[in-house]
């Protein structure tokens, strides 16, 4: 697997890098949060990140005034494991370089995504990376083998909160895993064992030998 840059033309179907934002304060605030001993952690909204000046800038400029949240995914990860998508773009800002594994919604066939469709992209520290609503993504991967990662994540407020309760009307309804979060899991994951839709076929990609 080749690891591209988010500045390469290959990233255009998946997202883009937004310019004009000063992310230094947010990067510093992320660095004050300790890494877990192992695995990954995620919080959809973190007060110390939302106190940064960029919170209002992203809300008003990047999301056009929509209510948003800024949380973080952080820890240690080199595997694909799952894919999720939302009805809106997601913004990622790294404390250091990190790697995104992505694919496209239109590559899902009969509820399953072939992991051979997955591409990897390296994002630099502090860049505001928009991941389109049509892009499948999940927990970032670290760019240095033992260093770990911290990535701030901006989304419409309420995303990844409590899943609404309803009777499914269609197949996609069965993939809903949380508020505004549709999930496809590789069968070899805890998410699959916890009832997530098994929607990734092929290798559970691991980039540990590439970093």
CB distance 67 to 174 below 8 Å: no
Task: Note the CATH number of domain 3-210.
Answer: 2.60.120.10
Q: What is the pLDDT of residue 146?
A: 87
Residues near 35 by beta carbon (within 8 Å), at least 6 away in sequence: 74, 75, 76, 148, 150
pLDDT beneath 70: ranges in the chain: none
Residue 98 CA to residue 124 CA, distance in Å, equals 7
- DSSP E strands in the chain: the ranges are 3-5, 15-18, 40-43, 68-75, 82-85, 90-94, 98-104, 113-114, 119-123, 128-131, 135-136, 141-142, 149-156, 176-178, 181-185, 200-201
Domain residues of the chain, as ranges? 3-210
């Amino acid at each position: 697997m080749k690891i591209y840059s988010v500045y390469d033309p290959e990233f255009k179907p998946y997202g883009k890098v937004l310019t004009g934002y000063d992310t230094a304060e947010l990067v510093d605030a992320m660095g004050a949060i300790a890494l877990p001993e192992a695995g990954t952690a995620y919080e959809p909204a973190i007060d110390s990140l939302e106190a940064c000046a960029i919170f209002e800038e992203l809300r008003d400029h990047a999301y056009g005034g929509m209510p948003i949240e800024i949380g973080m995914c952080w820890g240690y990860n080199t595997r694909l494991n799952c894919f999720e998508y939302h009805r809106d773009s997601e913004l990622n800002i790294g404390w250091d370089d990190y790697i995104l594994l992505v694919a496209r919604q239109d590559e899902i066939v009969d509820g399953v995504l072939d992991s051979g469709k997955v591409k990897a992209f390296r994002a630099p520290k502090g860049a505001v990376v928009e991941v389109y609503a049509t892009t499948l993504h999940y927990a970032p991967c670290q760019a240095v083998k033992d260093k770990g990662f911290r990535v701030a994540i901006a989304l419409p407020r309420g995303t990844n909160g409590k899943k609404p309760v309803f009777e499914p009307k269609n197949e996609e309804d069965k993939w809903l895993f949380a508020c505004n979060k549709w999930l496809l899991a590789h069968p070899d994951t805890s998410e699959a064992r916890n009832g997530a839709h098994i929607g990734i076929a092929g290798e559970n990609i691991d980039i540990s030998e590439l970093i």
